[in-house]
Amino acid sequence: MDAQGRGRAGDNNVDPADQWVFDPDTGNYELRLDPAGQAADRPSPRRAPGSRRARRDPGAAGGDTDTRPLPTQRDRRGDGDASDGDERPTGRRAERRAGNRAAAAAAGPASRRKRKPKKSGKKKALYWTAGVVGFVLVAAAGGAYFIYQQLDGNIDKVDVGVENDAVSEGPVNVLIIGTDSRSGKGNAGYGDAGSVGHADTTVLMHVSKDRTNATALSIPRDMMTDIPNCPTKQKDGSSKVIPGEQNVRFNTSLGQEGRDPGCTWRTVEKLTGLKINHFMMADFNAVKELSEAVDGVEVCAAKPINDPKSHLKLAAGRHIVKGEQALAFVRTRHTIGTGSDLSRIELQQQFLSSMIRKMKSSAFSSPSKLLDVSQAATKALTVDTGIGSAGKLLDFGTDLKKVDIDKITFATVPVLDNPEDPATVVLDKPKADPLFQMVRADHTLAKGKKGKGAKKSAPVKKAPPETVRVDVTNGGGPIGAAQETVDWLQNMKAAKLSTNAGNAPAKLSATRLEYAPNQADQAATLADWMGLPKSALKKSAQDAGDRVPMKLVLGKDFTAPGTPVEAPTETPDGVQNVNADDKNICAK
């Protein structure tokens, strides 16, 4: 970047690096280019025209941007002529400067501006959340613009056929993919020897519309799922559609058959019902280089770990890991938990949470350290074209960094052992569907807390399935919803006294369950099965006869039996989750 290209053609004394100014109110560096409309400078002290102080005073430039040269630049910056640093300005130059000082002095004390207090090192620390790359770019931009351009050249990008704006209103969904590719120095001993780079680790990061919280969903690599048809861009510029597959491992959504990150993108959208905005992909080197750049990440082991597969050896207790040891930590699984990929996911969540805490610490107010981190991050990542430049990543990260660390929750998509293949797992739909619905509704993934003095209602005793008697009618749900629900109740819940009563006399916007006082236990059982909110329950004034059924009317909000008609506001039971600010998590 040069001054001439940004409206400063008449000022040859402006160094582009000096146009990045730290704003103490926002904690960011800002690019200030146009002095128009800014307050006048303080008048210069009355000194001889040839004094050093007179030459350094920026009175001629105007504006409130601090354009004093950086320490390494002071000996290179002149006054626009061939004079050296000790030669005094003469002729018209001296007269012009003297006139400027006289005009400033004539303005009097009223023109003086109070100098802003210098920020302490602790207050200069920048904050980081899901947008790690954006965070480091925000910090690195405060050095010099040529560094910014160098970071831009580090970034690899893939055209997935979708180009969303870097910053958008509403919730943001970022797909983070870690591949098992063996490329890169020192990676020959990791992963499958012939791997083309599968989706070994996948996290869907959902950032709320108001940027107050974030949910990170880890997707097990060995989960059986359907992969949709996927259009991909070839090296010669042509397009090729990779055929989809049904009931295959999730990790084959990348690499297999030539699939690119756009295929994993579409697979996750199909699985969760969430629209993805951007993706970030990294290989083994990202863990090694980023952990080195931040001077290590603290992890905890509740017992000694000695995994010959990942080459990790740790005594019980807390450790700082980086480089090869950090990579071994996020890859290990054979000597912790159940020895499965699900236990490894919990280690990865611990590692990422700890790295977030490290990145948010004041230790990274050092420009050189921030530059190391930004270099490591941009070299390690491949992104979509929507954030495929340093400028776009800067905007993206600035938008996401508003989330506080204690409002970030990691969770694992619920799965069950696959009865047909013990080496794989299948989606646990009764738990996963409300989880996905909760995230789609932009609800924070945290346990609800009752306020002080709040009264807890007495739990209602639930009736056994064989006593639940209900007539089901369709009052606005999908065609055939009543029969589908009855089949589900009888076959999946053993509610043999359920009946299809046809279409309701009127359409309802919301599903409703009508019951008598003496059917409260049946209503509690059915509401739990169907995921009905309290607002859907309508109790009559009088008791009903022994053989009188309850009435379940499926409204327009009904989608499928077993899928809650209203998104839950608390994490569904049985869903593994941890808070990113929890420092007491140890691998067991």
pLDDT at 16 over 50: no
Question: In which band, very low, low, confident or very high, does the pLDDT at 258 lie, cut at 50, 70 and 90?
Answer: very high
Over range 351-378, report the average pLDDT.
75
In this predicted model, which residue has the larger pLDDT, 484 or 285?
484
Cα–Cα distance between 10 and 142 in angstroms, integer? 24
pLDDT at 454 over 50: no
Per-residue pLDDT, 372: 78
Phi, psi of 177 (to 5 degrees): -120, 130
pLDDT at 547 over 90: yes
pLDDT at 118 over 60: no
pLDDT at 203 over 60: yes
Q: Computed from CA positions of residues 102, 106, 108, 112, in that sequence, does the dihedral angle turn out positive or negative?
A: negative
Of 184-198, 239-253, 364-378, 486-500, minimum mean pLDDT range: 184-198
pTM score, two decimals? 0.66
pLDDT at 74 over 50: no
Q: Which amino acid is at 202?
A: T
Over range 286-304, report the average pLDDT.
90
Residues 418 and 224: beta-carbon distance below 8 Å: yes
Per-residue pLDDT, 205: 93
Q: What is the DSSP string of 392-416?
A: HHHHHHHHHTTS-GGGEEEEE--EE
In this predicted model, which residue has the larger pLDDT, 512 or 47?
512
Question: In which band, very low, low, confident or very high, does the pLDDT at 337 lie, cut at 50, 70 and 90?
Answer: confident
pLDDT at 316 over 90: yes
Domain with CATH 3.30.70.2390 in the chain: 465-554
Question: In which band, very low, low, confident or very high, does the pLDDT at 516 lie, cut at 50, 70 and 90?
Answer: very high
Per-residue pLDDT, 53: 41
> Which residues on adjacent β-strands are paired with residue 172?
207
The most confident of 182-186, 191-195, 321-325, 429-433, by mean pLDDT: 321-325
pLDDT at 65 over 70: no
Per-residue pLDDT, 446: 63
Percent of the residues in the chain that have a pLDDT greater than 90, as a whole number? 45
pLDDT at 462 over 50: yes
Per-residue pLDDT, 187: 46
Tokens read off for 208: 């709320």
Per-residue pLDDT, 196: 57
Per-residue pLDDT, 105: 47
In this predicted model, which residue has the larger pLDDT, 218 or 55?
218
Of 110-119, 305-314, 371-380, 461-470, minimum mean pLDDT range: 110-119
In this predicted model, which residue has the larger pLDDT, 272 or 366?
272
Over range 302-325, report the average pLDDT.
93
Per-residue pLDDT, 381: 84
| Average pLDDT of every residue of the chain | 76
Per-residue pLDDT, 447: 56
Per-residue pLDDT, 236: 87
Domain covering 465-554 in this structure, CATH number: 3.30.70.2390
Q: Which of 159, 173, 71, 96 is nearest to 130 (CA)?
A: 173
Per-residue pLDDT, 375: 82
The DSSP letter of residue 540 is -
Per-residue pLDDT, 567: 82
Of 38-47, 394-403, 444-453, 577-586, minimum mean pLDDT range: 38-47
Per-residue pLDDT, 72: 38
Give, in degrees to the nearest 5, the angle at Cα 330 between 288 and 579: 110
Question: In which band, very low, low, confident or very high, does the pLDDT at 339 lie, cut at 50, 70 and 90?
Answer: confident
Kindly state the helix (H) or strand (E) to which residue 288 belongs, with its residue range: helix 284-293
Per-residue pLDDT, 54: 38
pLDDT at 70 over 50: no
Per-residue pLDDT, 22: 54
Question: What end-to-end distance do the CA atoms of the chain give, in Å?
Answer: 52
pLDDT at 284 over 90: no
Per-residue pLDDT, 562: 81
Q: Which amino acid is at 319?
A: H
The most confident of 91-100, 129-138, 273-282, 336-345, by mean pLDDT: 273-282
Percent of the residues in the chain that have a pLDDT greater than 70, as a whole number? 68
Per-residue pLDDT, 60: 40
Per-residue pLDDT, 564: 81
In this predicted model, which residue has the larger pLDDT, 320 or 120?
320
The most confident of 43-52, 350-359, 428-437, 518-527, by mean pLDDT: 518-527
> Which residues on adjacent β-strands are paired with residue 224?
249
pLDDT at 57 over 50: no
Phi, psi of 528 (to 5 degrees): -65, -45
In this predicted model, which residue has the larger pLDDT, 197 or 530?
530
Cα–Cα distance between 494 and 497 in angstroms, integer? 9
pLDDT at 135 over 80: no
Q: Which amino acid is at 403?
A: V
In this predicted model, which residue has the larger pLDDT, 123 or 194?
194
Question: In which band, very low, low, confident or very high, does the pLDDT at 207 lie, cut at 50, 70 and 90?
Answer: very high
Domain covering 132-440 in this structure, CATH number: 3.40.630.190
